[in-house]
Amino acid sequence: MRLLIIGSLGGQIGAASRIAMDRGAKVHHAGDIPGGLDVLRSGKGADVIMIDVGLDVKGLIESLESERIVIPVVACGVATDAKSAVRAIRAGAKEYIPLPPDPELIAAVLSAITQESHALVYRDPAMAKVLKMADQVAGSDASILITGESGTGKEVVARYLHRKSKRADKNFVAVNCAAIPENLLESELFGHEKGAFTGAVSRRIGKFEEASGGTLLLDEVSEMDTRLQAKLLRVIQEREIDRVGGSQPVKVDVRLIATSNRNLENEVRKQTFREDLYFRLNVVNLALPPLRERPQDIDVLVNHFVKLHAEANGLPLRHLSAPALEIVRAHPWRGNVRELENAMHRAVLLATGDEIGPDVILLGGNGETKSAAAAKGGGAPGTAALVGRTVADVERDLIIDTLRHCVGNRTHAATILGISIRTLRNKLKLYGDEGHPVPPPGDGEHASA
């Protein structure tokens, strides 16, 4: 992960940088917003921007939008500066981190925003077979298509290919084609020249140039518009790109890896994906099996994620009890490895004894939330009792009950609920204003946390 820090962070740059680097981030620093924008335009790139809340956060976000640069922004400032924090969030910052920086909070925010976990952990023969093929093709420059259900680890395998390639010392750049709006994706990929459109105040290097010499991952390439697919095909054929508004092509040297959770042959038949592009990308296909088809991976992944999140949150290492592990092994894992990691993250945060027991293994089944008791045969609670209640009422009770379960800890509750701390904070303020009792903050937390 690449982190760009803009500003002084109240004199806490060194501490924030060390915490981020301890989490595996590559850190760049700019003293002001123009300097930060120059870093981004130059092709150094960033996955997250951390900006001093005393700077013009709104101006930065407007500049990013006008120049079609898609990067999440996190504001940082002294914990007592509540008004600045509110202004930053309203301006479009994804989160607010109080200073001095807390390692657990920074780790949680960066993890939530980037959603990256790059360790390749496996034991099952089905996964070993895929990795054997990956080893065989990693050293080539052939385009590779990685397919599989959501959450199976396609980006993890893409990064593995890069590390094993002759381009390993160069950039690995990932673009999520599903997350970036169509009108922004072209500039994101190919860059733009000054004056190419309103807001293009300077030349900006796109992801292809940023990755030149290295590897470019087109994540969920099946979501790309067919018009842009035609331009991508030309880039693959000619090894050159045209910046938006440019008059001269620019040579690029990238190794392309694409991923998709769709069956691209079906998409070709439906004419939503170009057949010629499909053949160009699919020189080698690595098809990742879902977690339910690689059961021997479950135990090693459980141990990996438990250790990872215990260390990240400064908690003691606890192992799953035999009954808890039995529940985990029996679960269908429709969300695959990503769902398993989220479940272990929750369990690590909620466990209180010497072991992680069944009571904190909170799993989803058939679209419902079920506890360990339900997983062992008690049956997930039905929805019949909810009929007649509004969605807002049900959501409020779920949020408040989860917060009580976490003894008031906002960070832990937000993680379990799958929402940001900011969203949780706004919901709790609304409930308090409406007169509903809200659990006080847990140990070590402020009401604004």
Domain covering 125-289 in this structure, CATH number:
3.40.50.300
Model confidence at 373, in pLDDT bands (50, 70, 90)? very low
Instruction: Return the pLDDT at 386.
Output: 67
Question: Do 314 and 130 form a contact (C-beta atoms < 8 A)?
Answer: no
115-125 residue pLDDT tens: 445 678 999 99
For 18-27, 34-43, 429-438, which range has the lowest pLDDT when averaged over its residues? 18-27
Question: Do 263 and 273 form a contact (C-beta atoms < 8 A)?
Answer: no
Assigned CATH class of 2-114: alpha beta
Distance of alpha carbon 219 from alpha carbon 116, whole angstroms = 13
**In the chain, domain spans:** 2-114, 125-289, 292-382, 385-433
End-to-end Cα spacing for the chain: 25
Residues in Cβ contact with 237 at an 8 Å cutoff, skipping those fewer than 6 apart: 280
Does residue 138 register a pLDDT over 80? yes
Distance of alpha carbon 447 from alpha carbon 421, whole angstroms = 12
Higher pLDDT, 402 or 154: 154
Model confidence at 80, in pLDDT bands (50, 70, 90)? low
Phi, psi of 263 (to 5 degrees): -85, 105
Could you tell me the two tokens for 34?
């123009």
Instruction: Assess if CATH 1.10.10.10 describes domain 385-433.
Output: no
What is the overall mean pLDDT for the chain? Answer: 85
Quick one: fold of 292-382?
Helicase, Ruva Protein; domain 3 (1.10.8)
Distance of alpha carbon 343 from alpha carbon 364, whole angstroms = 9
Question: Do 221 and 257 form a contact (C-beta atoms < 8 A)?
Answer: no
> Would the CATH topology of 292-382 be identical to that of 385-433?
no
| The most confident of 39-43, 180-184, 215-219, 432-436, by mean pLDDT | 215-219
CB atoms within 10 A of CB 118: 14
**Closest to 338 (Cα-Cα) out of 362, 313, 305, 375:** 305
